Amino acid sequence: MDGSSARRRRLALLTLCVTMFMSMLDNVIVNNALPRIGQDLDTGISGLQWIAEGYSLVYAALVLTGGALGDRYGRTRVFRLGLALFTAGSALAALAGTIGVLVGARMLQGVGAALLTPGSLALLRHVFTDERERARAIATWSGVSALGLSVGPVVGGPMVEHLGWASVFWINVPIGAAGLLLAVRVLPDIPPRPRRIDLGGLALSATGLALLVYALVEGPSRGWTDDRVLGCGAASAVLLIAFLVLELRLTEPMLELRMFRDGALGGALLSGFTVSFGMFGALFFLPLMMQGTLGWSPAAAGYAGLPMTAMLVVAAPLSGRLTARYGPRPPLVLGLALCAAGLGGLALYGDHARYPQYLWTLFAMGLGMGLTFTPVSIAVMMRVSPAQAGMASATVNTLRELGGVLGIAVLGAVLTNRLTDSLTAALQRLGVPPEAVGPIADAPAGALHGAGGSGASAPSAPLPGPVRDAVDGAFIDGIHLAVLCGAAALAVTAVLVAVLLGRTRPVVPGGAVAARRPQPADSAEPADPPESPASAGSAGAHRAEAHGAGAHRA
């Protein structure tokens, strides 16, 4: 592509923005569709968890490999392949008639996202060579990504209510097709660079994480002493330990574990992981509560989340300015504290709560999430060499995604265990036979559809009033414990980050961490010119804002 062509540069920016908008929009919309999916495909919470987990697990396992494939085979080629797979996965998900097919389609979407995401920012940096023009392009790219998160609930709720849950996947098909056409016409072909692919690390991490998530998701329904659950948990521990040992021995690892030896780096990475763990794990269950227990329509549930996503969009650029002026510690600690307060505050309200009562929790969570995304990336970028910037960014993205995967699995296990215990006790008080308790507790999504919400279709066999009330009460009891666990993790992390980032003063790129592992000359990213201390914060903020927006999963 002719670098002097302003029109082609604008089209390239449009292509990259459209694809990121699509991936951000998809994640938010899917959460609003989960209650209807659970009803139509006759699945409980564990099945709905796999719809979210299937995408996130595959994405987390492959995003670092996607970057390596882009280096080896060409960023543009891998980006186009990822976009095609994501679009095909969306169409397959829309056509799915069983929960197994839908989870498989979501996994295919995850593969596509893992291939296209790492190349998006690299292509943007390649297209815009002028620093000032590049900064504006990155700002636009980041803003469009955040816009996808903001409009997702507003668009998704009415779509689910009036067009059905499949529409939230169909919407990706024309967007993806248009983006693919533009990608073929306007994106430059970046020459590939030789790089070894960590096949051993990929196999160990993907298999270990899959087994871990399977054990966490299936444990509440099968029982924690079930042979399959115990076997998967034990095998996961062995594989993940082997993965960590392997990564420490490699010169080009998937995950740079040596970064955790630096206190400030470890604190920043822990922040990104814990925010995803607490917030995205809990946000998975809120649409179920709003549409099932509180009886809201999908559209109303979508609109209800708008204050949170709007605050996120407002807070994201604010956090960049705060970090540039005061360093990453204040916005990180404040953001974590706000997330903890908002998430924990949800436990104050039961099934008769009115929206204005807990509106403050949505504002607090949105502001908290917005404050944490950019400082995490800046804190990491300030403490690694330019040659390690790509690895550091990929590590941030991977840990964020892993946090979301484990948050849904762990908090889901907490919720389901408490729901089962509470429901069992309540049904026994009602005189329900013990053999009938298991099926009711094992299918909470279907049971919740009997709650009588305006947006819920009439179930084929509505639960009796007292049993329905028992299910609703047990679900609220479970979600209260789950959000309190997430809030506790966020509060503890806020304290740790205050300590870890307080001990070490920020440094410009090229510090001690950069020297801990030699980088092969044929695999390192081209080094950027040395930055002065005065300019490092500003340049780091531009890079980090883009990474943070691209990594976010709602």
DSSP states along 54-73: HHHHHHHHHHHHHHHHHHHH
Does the residue 478 lie in any domain?
yes
Residue 120 resides in a domain: yes
User: How many domains does one find in the chain?
Assistant: 3
Range of the domain at 446: 256-514
- What is the reported pLDDT for 150? 63
- Do 212 and 260 share a structural domain? no
Q: Token pair of 206, please?
A: 């993907």
Q: What's at 44, amino acid-wise?
A: G
Q: Are both 203 and 191 inside the same structural domain?
A: no
Residue ending a domain, among 152, 180, 195, is 195
| pLDDT computed for residue 355 by the predictor | 83
Let me know whether 379 and 360 are in one domain. yes
Is 203 within a domain? yes
The angle, 0 to 180 degrees and rounded to 10, between the axes of the packed helices 45-73 and 99-127 is 30
Same domain? For 166 and 284 the reply is no
Distance CA 287, CA 300 (A): 10
CATH of the domain at 25: 1.20.1250.20
Interatomic CA distance for residues 470 and 473, integer angstroms: 5
Q: Residue 436: what pLDDT?
A: 63
CA 251 to centroid of chain Cα atoms = 28
In this structure, is residue 525 part of a structural domain?
no
The verdict on residue 104 lying in a domain is: yes
Q: Are residues 170 and 311 in the same domain?
A: no
Reported as half-sphere exposure (CB side, CA atoms, 13 A), residue 375 has a value of: 33
Cα–Cα nearest to 118, from 395, 521, 370 = 395
Distances (CA, A) of 360 to 340, 357, 492: 13, 7, 22
Contact at 8 Å (CB) between 35 and 456?
yes
Verify that 272 and 184 share a domain, yes or no: no
Q: Does residue 183 sit in the same domain as residue 210?
A: no
Based on the fold, state whether residues 163 and 280 are members of the same structural domain.
Answer: no
One domain, residues 340 and 262: yes
Evaluate whether 234 touches 215 at the Cβ level (below 8 Å): no
Same domain, 177 and 206: no
268 lies in the same domain as 177: no
- Is 548 part of a structural domain of the chain? no
Residue 413 structure tokens: 């296990």
Q: Is residue 530 part of a domain?
A: no
Final residue of a domain: which of 195, 211, 228? 195
Q: 3-class DSSP state for residue 49? A: helix
Per-residue pLDDT of the chain (554 residues; tens, 9 = 90+): 444 477 888 888 888 888 888 877 776 678 778 888 888 888 877 778 788 778 877 887 777 778 778 777 888 888 999 999 999 999 999 999 899 999 999 999 989 988 887 777 678 777 877 767 776 777 677 667 666 766 776 787 788 888 889 998 998 999 899 989 988 888 887 777 666 777 888 788 878 877 887 787 777 667 788 899 899 999 999 999 999 999 888 877 777 777 777 777 888 889 989 998 998 777 777 777 777 777 788 778 778 878 887 887 788 778 877 887 888 889 999 999 999 999 999 888 877 778 888 889 989 998 998 888 778 877 776 676 655 655 666 677 778 878 887 888 788 888 888 888 888 888 878 777 766 665 655 554 444 443 333 333 334 455 677 877 888 888 888 889 999 999 999 999 999 999 888 754 444 444 444 434 444 433 434 433 333 333 333 334 343 333 333 334 43
| b (16+ CB within 10 A) / e for 100-134 | eebbbbbbbbbbbbbbbbbbbbbbbebbbeeeeeb
* 334 shares a domain with 413: yes
Of 402, 129, 470, nearest in space to 254 by CA: 402
In this structure, is residue 528 part of a structural domain?
no
Give the domain-ending residue among 232, 249, 266.
249
Report the sign of the C-alpha dihedral through residues 316, 320, 322, 328, in that order.
Answer: positive
